[in-house]
Amino acid sequence: MREIVSTKDILINARKGRYAVPAFNIHNLETIQAVVEVAAEMKSPVILAGTPSTIDYAGGDYIVAIAQAAAKKYDIPIAIHLDHFETFDEIKKYIDMGFKSSMIDASHELFKENIKLTKEVVDYAHSKGATVEAELGRLGGQEDDLVVDAKDAAFTDPDSAVEFVKLTGVDSLAVAIGTAHGLYHGEPKLDFDRLEKIGQILDIPLVLHGASDVPDEMVKRAITYGISKVNVATDLKIPFSDAVKKYFIENPDANDPRKYMTPGKNAMKEIIRHKILVMGSANRA
């Protein structure tokens, strides 16, 4: 019988196998069900990611309990991940609650402060069998309540990345190469030369944030250069909400959540299936 896992082995395996594990942002029971049901159907390892506002909304204990039920029900690796958390205390709280994967986002801090905070999180997480992702460089756009202006976005410096990983002992690194949170204004322009260099000089899994709305071929190319985890959020929320809206337009007197949530789940599942195929994680569980 499986339990919730950390992201350590599934991301190391992905890097070795030159595929990526999807990290789908979830919000409640229905979105978790949509993700794990498709992942189980396709035999894909999967990461359920929650931002601070999502965990606050749904309750960390509820997320852990639902994920534990899913892990027992389905024979695939399931990790729950703290996405874009910014303080040690919050991460400690949820690791103690049962989360085994976390992202400390101190990318807005000076380099030395980013190292200091990340190292503190790494030391505690590793003592509890949990893994840590950090970010070097900043993505533009919006991730729930976190907003970064385009002018403040900075690409990841390869040499700084080597020093950062060495000093922190972080398990995976989110790199800024031109992606952005949310939808793009025009086609994204990704710095693949920068990504290729980082992938050659680092031996840990790399993470691509802001992958919603990025063309499939760009995601596939990024995976060949060492991206082992791809975050997807906006691409799931839009079809879910559109399907629920459509249901209410066609059924204005509807009031049963079981009826109006189902079209949302089904629309979300189609995107999940597609993303798993793009990332090459099917039949990797």
Show me where the domains of the chain are located: 8-279
Q: Is the pLDDT of residue 148 over 60?
A: no
Per DSSP, the three-state class of 200 is helix
- What pTM does this model have? 0.91
Strands (E), 86-208: 101-104, 131-136, 140-143, 146-148, 172-175, 180-181, 206-208
Binding-site entries for dihydroxyacetone phosphate: 182, 210-212, 231-234
Give the pair of three-digit tokens for residue 128.
């509890």
Residue 35 has pLDDT above 90, yes or no: yes
CB 178 within 8 A of CB 201: no
What single-letter amino acid sits at 107? S
Kindly indicate the confidence band of residue 67, based on its pLDDT and cuts at 50, 70 and 90. very high
Give dist(CA 82, CA 255) in Å, integer: 33
Quote the CA–CA distance of 233 and 92 in Å, as a whole number.
Answer: 24
Q: How far apart are CA 138 and CA 136, in angstroms?
A: 7
Low-confidence winner among 163-167, 170-174, 182-186 (lowest mean pLDDT) = 182-186
Residue 176, C-beta contacts closer than 8 angstroms, at least 6 positions apart: 107, 135, 136, 137, 138, 139, 153, 154, 155, 156, 209
Q: Which one of the listed residues 83, 144, 213, 235 is annotated catalytic?
A: 83
Largest distance between two CA atoms of the chain = 59
8-279 maps to which CATH number?
Answer: 3.20.20.70
The stretch 56-83 carries a mean pLDDT of 97
Binding-site residue positions: 84, 105, 135, 181-182, 209-212, 231-234
What one-character DSSP code corresponds to residue 43? Answer: T
Q: Check residue 2 and give its pLDDT.
A: 85
Quote the CA–CA distance of 142 and 14 in Å, as a whole number: 27
The alpha-carbon radius of gyration of the chain (Å, integer) is 18
| The pLDDT of residue 242 | 98
The predicted structure's pLDDT at residue 27: 96
Beta carbons of 217 and 10 less than 8 angstroms apart: no
CB distance 212 to 234 below 8 Å: yes
DSSP 24: E
pLDDT for residue 53: 96
Give the C-alpha separation, 65 to 103, whole Å.
20
Q: Which residue has 């595929």 as its token pair?
A: 19
* Residue 274 pLDDT > 70: yes
The Cα 79–Cα 47 span in angstroms is: 5
- The Cβ-side half-sphere exposure at 264, using a 13 Å CA radius, reads 21
| pLDDT on residue 1 | 59
Residue with tokens 């499939």: 216
Annotated binding site for Zn(2+): 84, 105, 135, 181, 209
Output the CA–CA distances (angstroms, integers) from residue 276 to 27, 269, 273, in the order listed.
19, 11, 5
**pLDDT band with cut points at 50, 70 and 90 for residue 211:** confident
List all residues 6 or more positions away from 141 whose beta carbon is below 8 Å from its beta carbon: 147, 148, 150, 180, 181, 182, 210
Q: How far apart are CA 188 and CA 122, in angstroms?
A: 32
Residue 30 above 70 pLDDT? yes
User: Over 70: is that where the pLDDT of 185 sits?
Assistant: no
Q: Is 152 a catalytic residue?
A: no
| pLDDT recorded at residue 262 | 98
Query: What average pLDDT does the structure give for the chain?
Result: 92
